[in-house]
Copies of this chain bind each other. A is one copy, B any other.
Amino acid sequence: MQTLRVELGERAYPIHIGEGLLSDDALLAPHLDLPKAAIVTNTTVAPLYLQRLIGALQSRNVSVISIVLEDGERYKDWTTLNRIYDALLEHRCDRKTALIALGGGVIGDLGGFAAATYMRGIPFIQVPTTLLAQVDSSIGGKTGINHPLGKNMIGAFYQPRVVLADIAVLASLPPRELSAGLAEVIKHGLVRDEAFVSWLEQNVERLRACEPDALAHAVRRCCEIKAAVVAEDERETGVRALLNFGHTFGHAIESGLGYGNWLHGEAVAAGMVMAANLSRRMGFIAQADLDRIVALLKRAGLPTMQPGIAPARLLELMALDKKTEGGQLRFVLLDRIGAASIRAEVQPAILQEAMAACTAR
């Protein structure tokens, strides 16, 4: 097992990475205020891992309630959130009850927002079960739900007390989910670490084959990158925004296709190609860099073109993005492979060209 820390002063917390952590009863118990916990999970994850986690908690005499939600991005809404509140109230959960999110990004976001807002905040623990959640969404305290007008529009920054990334559970992921997680893995490299991009180019097939050593390395490196960025800029007033590379386009693609049709990571992959294409058209990176990015994403099993949403519609959806400031869209563009910057001064014509070049027809 390896342990990293997210250094956030009084809100600092450990990330444990390793095989079989789900059944290690020593890892969660120290983070509970009282021996009572509510596990939020979904109908896909529950049959696989819920009993294992409950067993580990009960062996420490923790009383556990389970809240099993429908699976999918379309359920990341107020109605599902309210099911969590209702269950917590029904079981008389108070301020000292810990909420444990056992699942992927949707469960982590929903569970985290419920923990942030139930009785103005209760202890929260992340047990991510997808690659995407282990390398990205479970770290850093972003929580929230979707609004009909935009993704993650309602939410809070709320840090977990501990993150438990059990590499062994990734073996049960469908290949499409694994690839979606690789999109965020590749993102961390593109934005912060060219050496890691080179490593990915050498190891992407091993990752797709779920080789434990390769997965452990990739998860650890992404967590290191993300933990350092979050420690520097918890509330995304600066450097943290760079981790949104591909996400302004990606969110618009996801929303334009209807939540749940493409996986988040798939939309981010196509969005990263758009952002890289724009970076090339603006002269920041070379065509060879763009080709290298597209090739790596393809080898990871990811789409590199969005499937035909009209560019005008994409622009409309992007105008709702949280990263606008005073009505002005801001883009995360690559300076080179391994470094990125925020740019607001983008010519509309060049933006149109980049979007058109990355749209299937």
Q: Does the CB pair B34–A85 fall under 8 Å?
A: no
Residues in B whose Cβ lies below 8 Å from that of A324: 92, 94
Which residue of B119, B150, B156 contacts A153 across the interface (Cβ within 8 Å)?
B119
Which of A141-149, A278-286, A339-347 has 4 or more CB atoms under 8 Å from chain B? A141-149
Give a binary string over A89-132; 1 marks a CB under 8 Å from any B CB, 0 the rest.
11010111000000000000000000011111100000000000
- With the chains together, A228 CA to B118 CA distance in Å? 26
8 Å CB interface, A286-328 against B = 319-320, 322, 324-327
- Is A4 at the interface (CB under 8 A from chain B)? no
Residues in B whose Cβ lies below 8 Å from that of A156: 116-117, 120-121, 156
Q: Does the CB pair B85–A157 fall under 8 Å?
A: no
CB distance from A199 to the nearest CB of B (A): 32
8 Å CB interface, A219-237 against B = 235
Q: Does the CB pair A157–B120 fall under 8 Å?
A: yes
- Is A36 at the interface (CB under 8 A from chain B)? yes
CB distance from A93 to the nearest CB of B (A): 10
- With the chains together, A86 CA to B150 CA distance in Å? 11
- With the chains together, A144 CA to B156 CA distance in Å? 13
Q: Does the CB pair B320–A92 fall under 8 Å?
A: yes
- With the chains together, A142 CA to B119 CA distance in Å? 10
- Is A209 at the interface (CB under 8 A from chain B)? no
Q: Does the CB pair A95–B325 fall under 8 Å?
A: yes
- Is A256 at the interface (CB under 8 A from chain B)? no
8 Å CB interface, A248-287 against B = none
Q: Does the CB pair A85–B121 fall under 8 Å?
A: no
Residues in B whose Cβ lies below 8 Å from that of A235: 120-121
- Is A26 at the interface (CB under 8 A from chain B)? no
Query: Nearest residue in B to A145 (C-beta to C-beta)?
Result: B117
Query: Nearest residue in B to A90 (C-beta to C-beta)?
Result: B149
- With the chains together, A311 CA to B205 CA distance in Å? 67
Residues in B whose Cβ lies below 8 Å from that of A121: 156-157, 235
- With the chains together, A325 CA to B36 CA distance in Å? 11
8 Å CB interface, A134-176 against B = 142-144, 147, 149-150, 152-157
Query: Nearest residue in B to A94 (C-beta to C-beta)?
Result: B324
Which residue of B86, B96, B319 contacts A325 across the interface (Cβ within 8 Å)?
B96
Q: Does the CB pair B120–A89 fall under 8 Å?
A: no
- With the chains together, A100 CA to B163 CA distance in Å? 36
Q: Does the CB pair A118–B154 fall under 8 Å?
A: yes
- With the chains together, A78 CA to B118 CA distance in Å? 13
- With the chains together, A95 CA to B147 CA distance in Å? 16
Name, among A82, A117, A324, the residue most crowded by chain B CB atoms within 10 Å (CB to CB): A117
Q: Does the CB pair A142–B154 fall under 8 Å?
A: no
Residues in B whose Cβ lies below 8 Å from that of A155: 117, 119-120
> Could you list 13 A-B pairs, sorted by A, with CB under 8 Å?
A34-B326, A85-B153, A86-B149, A89-B320, A92-B319, A92-B320, A94-B325, A95-B325, A96-B325, A120-B144, A120-B157, A120-B322, A156-B156
Chain A interface (Cβ < 8 Å from any Cβ of B): 34, 36, 78, 82, 85-86, 89-90, 92, 94-96, 116-121, 142-144, 147, 149-150, 152-157, 235, 319-320, 322, 324-327
Closest 3 CB pairs of A and B: A120-B155, A89-B149, A119-B322
